Every structure is written in structure tokens, then in C-alpha cells.
Chains A and B, each alone.
Chain A
Amino acid sequence: MVSAITLAIDGQEIVTQAGKTILQAAMEAGLYIPYLCYYPGMKPFGACRMCVVEVENGRGTPASCTTPVADGMVVSTNTPQLQDLRKGITELVISEHPHGCLTCHRTDIHGANLCGPEDICLRHVSVTDRCVACPKNERCELKDTTIFVGTGLTTPLTYKYRNLPVLTQDPFYDLDYNLCIVCGRCVRACEELRGDSAITFTDRSGISLVGPAHGTSLLESGSEFCGSCIDVCPVGALVESDYKWEKAVENVSTTCPHCPVGCQLKLDVNQRGKVIRAIPELEADANHGQACFKGKFGLDFINSRNRLTTPLVRRNGSLEEASWEEALSLVAEKLSGYRGDQFAAIGSYRGTNEENYLLQKFARVVMGTNNVDHSSNIKPEMLEPLGEALGYQAATNPIWDLEDAKCILTIGTNTSEEHNVAAVPVKRAVKKGAKLIVIDSREVELTRYATTWIRPKPGTDAMLLGGMLRVIVDEVLEDEDFLKDRCENLDALKHSLWRFDINKIEDITGVSQDDIRLAARTFAENSPAAILYALDTVPQSQRVDCVNALVDLALITGNVGKPNAGLYPLRPGTNDQGSWDVGCVPNLLPGYQAIDDVSARAAMQQVWGVDLPSGRGVGINDVFQSVSAGNVKAMLVVGDSPSFSNGDLGDIIETAQSLEFLVVQDTFLTGLAQVADVVLPSVTFAEKEGTFTNLERRVQPLRKVLDIQRTESRPDWWIICEIAKAMNGQGFDYHCPAQILDEISSLIPFYAGITYQRLLSKKGLLVPLLMPNFPLPSQLHPSTGGQNAGIQWPCTTPEDEGNSVLYAEGFPSGKARFIPLEMGEAPTMTTADFPFLFLPGRVLHQSQQEMEIVVAGQKNHIQRDELLKLHPLDAADMGINEEDWVEVISHSERIRAKARLTEEAFRGTVSATFLFGDLMTRLESSEDPDPMSRVPRLPLTPVRLAKLEA
């Protein structure tokens, strides 16, 4: 219990908690104290001295951002002496900061620029430091603060311009250190908020600045290009290079479409209706003010000129523009001929709950088939054991719970790239002393933070986990109380473990007994412990075993149903959780009702008014085989998906050509759309409403950021409804997604209390609740929480605030049920043509390998020789010597690398670790309209090697 403290600030009595600083207490009470280096959420720093106050009976003028509150304190924030001090401080700060913007008589009292487009600058400032040349013009905290404290600029333009070059060579970032005030927010954001260290303070005294080591490039310094430093920069020193000088006329908060973390982003819109900037919401519960390279720099596809503008219909072999009426009636007419299992519908990687609900309703009600799925559902095995053992097929705990876990186990997940913001609390936990066990044959960023990094032979992950369980049982490390009260079937599990002999496991997995024991003990003895898994490295036949073992591992150590513990399945698609919830899968009706459950089907038939098909349909993993076999003849595909192009599903474009009728709804003319018979243009996430359910079960709203402009494209939900209505489908008369969500809530008990209105009523960040006269529009105002929170299901009534931790009050079926394990066999993952398994890795920084930054086309690039690690015996077989150049050939790619022979490599595997910076330069120069949705992943790939002659 934190004790309450009463203090007086400017005569106002304030009750706050011990441990707060004066600045925080004042802000929360609605009193503003000017600040520059302080930032909500960061530790006190006290560099700028702008927030000085006077404390009665105290010495001097302490900085309020570093002074803790004390009972009975009497604080003054605005005496004449303090005002003078602050004026002096701003004068010092701006003595090296170009500030023509502050001294010009063409600015009004709020600092707004009154220059017209034809006006000639009257200040005779050199072109580089004119106010319009500053990327933060009119959203600069320094400018606002200087005006606020009333610094009379009697001697204008006496600043010293540092004449440093503006750095624009790095991807996505523009750095202008002439504007830097060395407040250190960026350095601290990188370190404290992100758990990284990509920039530091360089040099000292008058020439001190911020920047990467050696002062060259962010590419080599370990930057993950998350943009956090840009978000906190109070001036124009660090900015996004795209739309750098654009001014926002509006900003709307919405949900990022790139991954299932569901970051809340504030999107800035300029007067021409373009989304110019994304700033993560500081107080959103899903992302706590963080975003990643995808959300921060990967939304320009909204503004693309290559978007589809009208429906396209295939006439005489080529796609031609058509009207909506024509396209829809053609679709309706054609699809009518394929009712039943000849038809399949594939929902979007980014489909909202409403759209995916409608799609499965369309497939089941109108088309009479269970052939419906969403395109990212390529690993359904990740979830099913969770439902079986625990109750819900979902992550048990919220993302930011991870920050206070004592142990975190990750398996087969490249979290820092694919669910970037979820890796932030993991890194922060490690900084606080948590143990991180990484099980991955690849070298990924989290392996650099790992306390224990275990590299099992590919395909043996499930056996390794079985071995860990065996150690826990043998050494009696279970959580006995938890087992006794809340679990059943433990004996069956223990019985199944007798096969998991540790000697045998050591043999199979290639992991030493010591390491297995160490991992097991670390996990069991550091509670609470959480598990993150994506099963990227686990072959299909092993996935169920693997998840079974993970569930058992969490249960046996008592890590379910309590904070900072639990299981986190990390799926690829933005709304995979929601798509499952609303039944956009071939085997489940909305609310996880099995399709073969007669009573569930009957209940649904009552609501939808038609007989429903029974029997599991085909899903994303088997639909293209069904197409090849001629069973499925017509398809409706909503949205493009990485699964269509990354090889997971084979060459689907060619298969799709054998369809008799293919309808694609998409924003761009993608590969699949090009072979479609009808292409219906759909809008992006920014132009529609709806909801996404993120990986922690948080239902969050999509707000309409832009009106649909210059195009006839429509939201996917509207398109599906129109097709259904054209085919005389009943129950598709919706006028807005909120209405569809109401239907979903009425059908799914754990969504019952969720309405669109409830989600929207939690307003965006920059609406100060307590401070109506908040003086500085450019500074963030920390409110008292509850903003952009979304609602975590289960939420059963309109009053229910949702549940962040599942099973805290018990399991739905009374007790959790252990799943006995089977000792499977490691599958062969190579072929005769490609006899080696390639383990690719990617990290931010690799100190062991020489590299160089070269500038080409005005951009920085990494130049270095890649190293291919392989076993000396394999190398000898191939006649490869150390340092020989080798080509690694897979079915789709060729990579050249220098051989590095090491006994650490498993026989039959080769590995190489690439640099993230390299990926960034490629993404920035990509021609793809939406490159961030196609960030190359790191799949284990069968390859062959060819020695190259020097």
C-alpha cells in the first residue's frame, strides 16, 4: 500500500502518493509546470532545469521533475524569481537553436506562422534556418515553451548556428543536430522505454550531441528503427524523413493493421487528405506509447497512387474497368452456380471482426459451405490445445504483464520483428533481472538478451520440452498447491513422461543434459513465468505436441491464472484472434462452437434462419489442394496476404488459375488479383470502421481516419453484404460495422458486453481531461488512464470492464486438464535435391563480423561478407574449406557467403545471421506499395550448397 501524501502547490492542496515527483503530482492535479527534458513514463533526469520550483524551507530552486513529494511540502511554481530563472534558461537553450520563428513579427501570440505562400522572409535569415525549414515548425515544444515562459527576445537572431550537415542517409530518419537541444529524451527513450541502446550521448560540453557509436549510421549501431526517439524529440532534430515538412490538419487515433499487437496510433492527416505521420498513443494499454518500424514507417500504402479505383471484370481475357452494379451482378450470377462445397471463401489477414464474421456468415448462410478461413491461419495447431486444456483458445495474459515476469521462455519466435512491441516488455523484464530462456535454432534478436539460449536440432523442440517437464517431475519442482486445487489428469501426464529419458533426449535434440536441466530449473524456480511461442521453427507434425508440452509446462509450474505469467501464442495475422472468435475458420461457428455440435448448429440456425452445413470445411492450408483436385471451383478471397507469396502455401497463383471463378477484394492489383475474374476494390484500414481483437484478447476500434477519396473502393464489409444481397441472402442489411458488432455480441457470450460505442467512448490521448487550458499543444499531457484501453474479453455485460488475466477465478470446466505427451519422431525437413537445412537468423548488431557503411545513391548501406556456419565434416564431404565462397541455393533464393567451419553447427544444417539494418535499407527502397506487410521472415529452408571458385 502506497501511503498518501498531502502537499500544497501554488496554494492548492493536492493529495498524491509517495514516490511521485512534484512535477507528476502537479500535472495530475491539473497544474502545469513547463518542462523540456522530462517525458511521461521516463525516469527523472533533471537536465534542462525548465521545471524549477521553490519549496518552502528548502534550499535553492530544485527541479520539480527530480524532487520527490513529501508530506506537508509547500511548493511554488510561478514566483517572479522562477519566471526570471526560466527566461534565462530558455535563452541559454535557444542560444544555439535557430529561432527565427520566435522573433518574427509575422507570428501571432501563440507562435503560429502568419506567412502567406508568396511572402518573402523578412528576417533575412539564411535559408536553412527559416521557420519553414524546420520540420517541427508549429509543433515544437521548445518554441511553445519559450512563448509560455514569456522570454522577451530583445536581441533577435543572435544564436550560433552549428553548421552541422543534416543527416538523411539512414532509412526513414532525418537527423538535423543543428536543432538538437541535447535534452537526452531520445537516448533515454531508447534505453528506458525500449530496452535498447542504439544511440548515446557523444562528446562533451559545448559539442555534446546524441547519436550512434562512431557517429556514422544507425544501421550499424543496433537500431530497430522503432521511431521511439522521433516520438519523444521536443524539437526538429529527429524526424521521419517522409512528409517531413507536412503539417497536420487533423489527427485520429486508430489501430495499427500490421500485427496482432494492435498498437494504438495517432495518424496525422494533412490538408490534401494524406496520412503523413503515425505517433503511438502514450497511454494505450496495448502499446504504452510504443510502435515499431512497421507501424511508424509502413503506412504510406494508404496514400499510394497504385490503389485500385474501380471494380475490374475480366473481358476477353483481360481485366477491364466496370461499374459496381456490373461487377456485383456478375459475381452474384456466377457464384450462384457454385453453392455448396464447390465454393471457398478466404478472409483477410487484416479483416476486422465484423468483416470476418460476415464472410463466414456469407459462406455458411448464402453459399452453404464451411469452406471458410482467414489467410493467416496457417498454424491452427497453435491454439487448439489451449482450448482443450484450459478453456479458451487465446493468450492468457496481457502483453505488458511480461514486464514484471521473473522468467520468460520463448520458442520459435522472432518477436522483436514480427510482434515488435510485445518484445519491449520482454527486454525491459530482462533489464530488471528476469531470466530469459530462448529456444530457437535461429539467431534472432532476443537471443542476444537471453540468459539461456538453447538451439535444439531442428524439429526436436517438442522432445526438448518433454525433457524439461521430465526434469521438473524428477526433481519435484512442481507447484503442488496449484496442481492439487486446480488441475486434473496429472498422473496421465507423469505416466507419459517415462518415455522422455534425459539421455535419449540429449541424443535426439543435441542439447546437453546440463542445459535441459538448467532451463527446466530456471523456468520452475522463477515464478511468475510466461511463455511466448510462434512455432516458426517447428514443423507441422510437431506443433500439437509442442503446444501440449507448453501448456503442461505452464500448468505444472502453476503459471496459469495469475498476473505476469501465462501463455502467449503469437500468431502472424493482425486479427487472427478475432477471426477465430467470430468463427471465420472451417471447423467452428462464432464463439468456438464446434461445427459438428448439433445443438450449437441448431441455435445458430435459429438466428440466421437457414439450415447450416455440417462437417469441417477446407481451410487455408488445404484449400489450394482442393482447388488442384477440382473439388473447389470458385473462390472469394478478401485481401492480399503474406501467406500467398512467402512460399508457406506453395505457388498459389498458378493453382488459382485453374479455378473456374475467382473473386478478389483488394486495395491493390496483387498477384492473386491479376488472375481473378472479378476484382473488387476495397479500402484500407484507415478509411473504415470496425474492430480488431489483438493477441491479448483486447477488442480495439478502427476509427475512420480518412474519407474515401478519388476512388470507388468500398469497405470489405460493404462488399460482402452487397454480394450476399445480390444473391438474395437474408440478414445482410447492415448500415455500419457497429450494427454487425452488435450481432456478434449477441451471439458470443464472451463478447456480450462489447459495443462499438463503448470502445469509442474511451477518447484519444490529446484531449486533456483535467487541464482544459493546457497551454502547450505540442506537449503530451499525461491523464489518469483509461484511454484507448479497448476491452479484453471475456466481457459479458455492458458494465463489465473486461478481464486481463484469464482463469484468475478458475477454469471454465472447473479444472485445467493436463495433456499426456507423446514422444514423436523428428521429421525429415530436407529433400534429396536440397539435403541441408538452412537456419537463417537476423539481429540488430553483430560484433564478431567486420562491416562497413558505404553511401550509394545518397543512402547508407551495409557492406560485409556474410558467413555461413557449417560442420567441418559436412564441409569436408563437400570439399569446402574455411573462408571459401559458397552459394546457398533454395528453391526460390540464392545467397553467397563465406564458409566458417564450426563444431557448434549440427550436421546437415547450415546457418547464417543477417543484419536488420540491411533489411531496413531494402524495405525503404522497395517498390512494393505495402512492403512492411511482406517483411521477409526467417523460415527453416531446405537448401543445397555449391562451392564457388574464387
Chain B
Amino acid sequence: MTTNQDDQTQKIGEALANQSARTVTVLSSLLAIEDAIGYIPPRAIEQVAAYTDSTINDVWGVASFYTNFRFTPPGEHTVEVCWGPTCHLLGAQEILQAALQALGLSEEGDTPDGKISLKYNTCLGACSQGPVISVDHKIIGPQALGGLKGDAMVQRIIEIISQLKTGASNA
């Protein structure tokens, strides 16, 4: 039991030590941890406080300010649906509604089985390929799906998401 915790402590420690940011700050430290383990567990707040010579309350103030930090473990897979202006015009809403329905969610969040975390994203930076989603940080859209468009594309995306849910490897 303790080994899991020690493991995490170590991972956080490594993430803190190996930051690439030029100036190490509370924020850069939190980002490094989120990148490494996907969320900010309570122990990470403590570790960042010790590492940056600040207090847990200061770190918490920063961490809770930014909505991109999450404090519970993410699902096994992360699906982000872009709803930036371009994707929106190109049909992001259909993808979003279909994805929510496929996952049994009413808004962004985690599926009850902990398999998938669905997030809205204001721009994935791939406007030319829109509408896009990202699955575990990999962009999927018409281009990645061999030129599929419209309902066919939405259907393919839902298939991909559903495969994640059943545990089959993604496309």
C-alpha cells in the first residue's frame, strides 16, 4: 500500500527536479506534476511548497485559481473536444453531443468507471484540420481519419471513444 504512495512521491519529486521551465515557480512546478501524473494530489501541494520554499496555502491559492488543474486522478484516457470558434463553425457541437451521449455524461467530467475523462478545450491549435478532438493528446479530425466528414466522421469518432471505453486499443 505504501509503495504506491512512495511511488507517487518519487514521481512528483522527479517531475519537480526535471522541470524544463527557465524560472522554476509554483506554477511551473504544478504544471510539471500535472504533465507527469495527470493531476495534483494533496501530497503534490506539500511537495511543491517544500520545493519552492512557500507554504501549502500559497500553492493551493495558485492551484485552485487555474481551472486546468485537477485534484482527482483522471480517467485512463483523456478525450478533449475542441469548441474553439473554428471547430464550432465546422461542427464541434455535433461531436460534443454525440461524445457526451456515448459516454453517458451530461457535461465534461469522468465516466463513472474511471475509464475516460472528457474535457472541453477552447482551442487545440489545429484549426486547419477542424473540427478536431484529442484522444490522449493525439489530434483526431477529418485529416487523421482519411478525409471522413460530417456524420461519418462523427460516427468514427464515437467508435474510437467507445473502443477506449471497452479497453480495446485505439485506432
Residue positions of A touching B, CB distance < 8 A: 197-204, 212-215, 221-222, 845, 847, 850
Q: Check B42 for interface membership: any CB of A closer than 8 A.
A: yes
- Set A201, A845, A847, A850: member contacting B61, Cβ < 8 A: A201
Known contacts A201-B61, A215-B64; 18 further A-B pairs (Cβ under 8 A): A197-B54, A197-B55, A198-B57, A200-B60, A200-B61, A201-B65, A202-B60, A202-B61, A213-B45, A213-B56, A214-B45, A222-B55, A222-B57, A845-B55, A845-B56, A847-B46, A847-B50, A850-B5
Contact partners of B59 in chain A: CB under 8 A: 213
Contact partners of A845 in chain B: CB under 8 A: 55-56
Contact partners of B56 in chain A: CB under 8 A: 213-214, 221-222, 845, 847
Q: Check B49 for interface membership: any CB of A closer than 8 A.
A: yes
Contact partners of A197 in chain B: CB under 8 A: 54-55, 57-58
B21-62 CB mask vs A (1 if < 8 Å, else 0) is 000000000000000000000100111011000111111110
Contact partners of B50 in chain A: CB under 8 A: 847
Assembled-state Cα–Cα distance A185/B42 (Å): 26
Q: Are A214 and B42 in contact (CB under 8 A)?
A: yes
Q: How many residues of B contact A (CB 8 A)?
A: 19
Q: Are B57 and A212 in contact (CB under 8 A)?
A: yes
Contact partners of B5 in chain A: CB under 8 A: 850
Query: Helix, strand, loop or mixed for chain A's interface?
Result: loop
Contact partners of B60 in chain A: CB under 8 A: 200, 202, 212-214
Cβ-closest chain B residue relative to A220: B56
Q: 14 A-B Cβ contacts within 8 A?
A: A197-B55, A197-B58, A200-B57, A200-B61, A202-B60, A203-B64, A204-B65, A212-B60, A213-B45, A213-B56, A221-B56, A847-B47, A847-B49, A847-B56
Shortest beta-carbon distance from A203 to chain B in Å: 5
Shortest beta-carbon distance from B57 to chain A in Å: 4
Cβ-closest chain A residue relative to B65: A204
Shortest beta-carbon distance from B136 to chain A in Å: 28
Assembled-state Cα–Cα distance A457/B46 (Å): 30
Shortest beta-carbon distance from B68 to chain A in Å: 12
Shortest beta-carbon distance from A213 to chain B in Å: 3
Contact partners of A203 in chain B: CB under 8 A: 64-65
Cβ-closest chain A residue relative to B59: A213
Cβ-closest chain A residue relative to B5: A850
Residue positions of B touching A, CB distance < 8 A: 5, 42, 45-47, 49-50, 54-61, 64-67
Contact partners of A199 in chain B: CB under 8 A: 57
Assembled-state Cα–Cα distance A213/B56 (Å): 6
Contact partners of B45 in chain A: CB under 8 A: 213-214
Cβ-closest chain A residue relative to B66: A204
State the 8 A-B residue pairs at the shortest beta-carbon distance, nearest first.
A213-B60, A200-B61, A197-B55, A200-B57, A847-B46, A213-B56, A204-B65, A197-B57
Assembled-state Cα–Cα distance A212/B56 (Å): 9
Assembled-state Cα–Cα distance A212/B58 (Å): 9
Contact partners of B42 in chain A: CB under 8 A: 214
Cβ-closest chain B residue relative to A197: B55
Shortest beta-carbon distance from B167 to chain A in Å: 33
Contact partners of B61 in chain A: CB under 8 A: 200-202
Contact partners of B58 in chain A: CB under 8 A: 197, 200
Most buried by A among B47, B50, B56: B56
Contact partners of B66 in chain A: CB under 8 A: 204
Assembled-state Cα–Cα distance A198/B58 (Å): 9
Assembled-state Cα–Cα distance A200/B65 (Å): 11
Assembled-state Cα–Cα distance A222/B56 (Å): 9
Contact partners of B57 in chain A: CB under 8 A: 197-200, 212-213, 221-222
Assembled-state Cα–Cα distance A850/B1 (Å): 13
Shortest beta-carbon distance from A431 to chain B in Å: 12
Shortest beta-carbon distance from B1 to chain A in Å: 11
Assembled-state Cα–Cα distance A201/B42 (Å): 17
Contact partners of A201 in chain B: CB under 8 A: 61, 65
Assembled-state Cα–Cα distance A204/B5 (Å): 30
Contact partners of A204 in chain B: CB under 8 A: 64-67
Assembled-state Cα–Cα distance A203/B71 (Å): 13
Assembled-state Cα–Cα distance A207/B46 (Å): 24
Shortest beta-carbon distance from B53 to chain A in Å: 11
Cβ-closest chain B residue relative to A845: B56
Contact partners of A215 in chain B: CB under 8 A: 64
Assembled-state Cα–Cα distance A213/B50 (Å): 14
Assembled-state Cα–Cα distance A209/B47 (Å): 24
Shortest beta-carbon distance from B161 to chain A in Å: 30
Assembled-state Cα–Cα distance A594/B56 (Å): 54
Shortest beta-carbon distance from B129 to chain A in Å: 32
Shortest beta-carbon distance from A752 to chain B in Å: 49
Cβ-closest chain B residue relative to A209: B64
Assembled-state Cα–Cα distance A227/B147 (Å): 65
Assembled-state Cα–Cα distance A549/B31 (Å): 51
Assembled-state Cα–Cα distance A197/B62 (Å): 14
Assembled-state Cα–Cα distance A845/B5 (Å): 20
Contact partners of B46 in chain A: CB under 8 A: 847
Cβ-closest chain A residue relative to B47: A847
Shortest beta-carbon distance from B98 to chain A in Å: 30
Assembled-state Cα–Cα distance A214/B55 (Å): 13
Assembled-state Cα–Cα distance A201/B58 (Å): 8
Shortest beta-carbon distance from B143 to chain A in Å: 36
Assembled-state Cα–Cα distance A215/B71 (Å): 12
Most buried by B among A213, A221, A850: A213
Assembled-state Cα–Cα distance A204/B65 (Å): 5
Contact partners of A847 in chain B: CB under 8 A: 46-47, 49-50, 56
Assembled-state Cα–Cα distance A199/B42 (Å): 16
Shortest beta-carbon distance from B70 to chain A in Å: 13
Shortest beta-carbon distance from B54 to chain A in Å: 8
Assembled-state Cα–Cα distance A657/B61 (Å): 58
Cβ-closest chain A residue relative to B45: A213
Assembled-state Cα–Cα distance A198/B49 (Å): 13
Contact partners of B65 in chain A: CB under 8 A: 201, 203-204
Contact partners of A850 in chain B: CB under 8 A: 5
Assembled-state Cα–Cα distance A203/B42 (Å): 16
Shortest beta-carbon distance from A482 to chain B in Å: 35
Most buried by A among B47, B64, B66: B64
Shortest beta-carbon distance from B62 to chain A in Å: 9
Cβ-closest chain B residue relative to A198: B57
Assembled-state Cα–Cα distance A198/B65 (Å): 17
Contact partners of B55 in chain A: CB under 8 A: 197, 222, 845
Assembled-state Cα–Cα distance A845/B46 (Å): 10
